[in-house]
Each structure stands twice: as C-alpha cells, then as structure tokens.
Amino acid sequence: MNQQSTCLQSDIETLIRSGPPTVLLDANVLVPQYLRAVLLELAEARLFRPHWSKHILEEVRRNLAGLQSRYRLPTERVDRLLALMQTSFPDATVTGYERLETSFAGLTDPKDQHVAAAALHLSRSAPGQTAVVLVTQNTRDLPQRAFTGTPVLAARPDAFLQAMLAIRPAICLATLSALCKRLRRPPMKRATLLAVLENAGCASTALSLGKLWKLVRQGRPRGA
C-alpha cells in the first residue's frame, strides 16, 4: 500500500470511529451481485449511511439488464432489486446535484461528472460540510485530486471495507457470517465469499476477513 492509500484509509477509519460515515456508492460497486450484497448488508447493520443518485441507479439498471449488458438479467428482476434498495434506504437518493457537474470539467472523466457532483452535493446537504466517502472502482477517472479542498474522499471498495473491518471487526464478522448463512442459491460458504471478494477487486479485504475468520494461513485460504 502506497503512502497516499495509507493516508486515505486512515482518514476513512477516523470517520468510522466518529460514527456511521456518509457514503456515495458508485454504480460499479452496485452491479456485482455479491459486492453489492456485502455493502448493503453492512449498511443495513448501520455501519454506514448509503447513498446513490437516480443517474447511478439508471446506470446499474443498464448494466444489469441492458442489451449490451454481460449479465442480461430480466428487466422485471432488476426493477424489483432497485425498488427494494430504495425501500430499504428511503433517504439514500441524492438529488439537486446537476448544477455542480460543470465544476468537475477537466478534473474527472466527463461521463463520471455526475458521480463527482452527487458526492460533492451530498457533502454540502447537511449544515456545514459533511465528510463523504465516494466508494468507486474507478478512482482513475474519479481521482482524489478532483476533490481537493472538499470533504469528499474517493476510495476503492477494498480500502473502504478494509477500514470498516479495522474499526468495526466484530459487527462486520457477525453481519457477513449471517449473510453467508442466508445465501442459498447458490450456497455461500465463508471461503467462497473470500474468493468472490478477491475477484471483485477486494483482495486485501478478503485476506483480512479470512484471517479474522481463521480461514487464511500465511496468505493462503483454506476451505470452510
């Protein structure tokens, strides 16, 4: 882990210590089934306050059910999923951020300006300025330097989950163990969840979680 990543994770850990952080979830962390499940389970456990925008949910829908999607899920199934997310977290949808999109011209990829704007608007929506963690797989097009002078932290899900495990290990373990027991189609062993997280770009989280579950020895997973 480089110095910048170490500082970022330390900043996120500080936020978590002070209470459930405010988090904007990008579409690319909501599309993969099990990464989405892990994040939303932790949110259900009130470890963080999840947010997204209508634009982000439209992107999720397009990636799961669109004609160009590699998932090609039935539209009705995806619509039920998105409706359930919004019912479970009725205050999650960020609105009124569009006017801020031009603030990120030249700072982020044009197609990601709406995500950056939503994160910035979310940070300004409470009295004063609220620190916001933008959880995205795409920190190349949404770099931290785009948020210089703002309370927005752009982090990959691996860094965010690592910080959560470091500060709230007991409730994370209990929540994710319960998730594994509940998933039955297909059945999800804890070792399988570690592999899924690793494949979702969360290798460090998988390793840390495996150690806490005593499923990893010297960096190598064993079955559970």
Same domain, 138 and 187: no
3-state secondary structure of 53: strand
DSSP codes of every residue in 104-136: GBTTB-GGGHHHHHHHHHHHHSSSS---EEEE-
Task: Specify the pLDDT at position 184.
Answer: 78
- What domain range is 132 assigned to? 3-156
Same domain, 128 and 62: yes
Same domain, 189 and 150: no
Same domain, 68 and 120: yes
In sequence order, the 6+-apart residues with CB closer than 8 A to the CB of 193 are 34, 38, 176, 179, 180, 209
Task: Specify the pLDDT at position 166.
Answer: 96
Average pLDDT, the chain: 91
Same domain, 152 and 171: no
Where b means 16+ CB within 10 Å and e means fewer, 109-146 reads eeebbbbbbbbbbbbbbeeeebbbbbbbbbbebbebeb
Residue 6 binned pLDDT confidence (cut-offs 50, 70, 90): confident
Among all chains, which residue has been given the structure tokens 């999109």?
101
pLDDT at 4 over 90: no
Cα separation, 116 vs 134, in Å, equals 8
More confident residue, 213 or 4: 213
CATH for 57: 3.40.50.1010
Mean pLDDT, range 39-43, rounded to an integer: 98
Cα separation, 116 vs 146, in Å, equals 8
Our count of domains for the chain comes to 2
The residue out of 119, 134, 156 marking a domain boundary is 156
More confident residue, 153 or 216: 153
Same domain, 9 and 84: yes
Beta bridge partners of 187: 184
Same domain, 145 and 173: no
3-state secondary structure of 25: strand
Among all chains, which residue has been given the structure tokens 């997204």?
52
Same domain, 213 and 188: yes
Q: Which two tokens stand for residue 67?
A: 């004609």
Same domain, 50 and 121: yes
Whose CA is closest to 102, among 146, 153, 149, 151? Answer: 146
Residue 210, judged by CB atoms within 10 A of its CB (0-12, 13-18, 19+), counts as buried
Residue 2 binned pLDDT confidence (cut-offs 50, 70, 90): low
CB 162, CB 208: distance < 8 Å: yes
DSSP designation for 103: G
Same domain, 182 and 127: no
The residue out of 106, 134, 156 marking a domain boundary is 156
Cα separation, 166 vs 11, in Å, equals 12
Same domain, 97 and 182: no
The residue out of 111, 127, 156 marking a domain boundary is 156
Task: Specify the pLDDT at position 47.
Answer: 98
Among all chains, which residue has been given the structure tokens 């039935």?
74
Per-residue pLDDT tens over the stretch 64-101: 997 676 778 899 999 999 999 999 999 999 999 999 99
pLDDT at 62 over 60: yes
Same domain, 182 and 107: no
- Kindly report which listed range (15-29, 57-71, 96-110) carries the lowest average pLDDT score: 57-71
Q: How many CB atoms lie within 10 A of CB 87?
A: 8
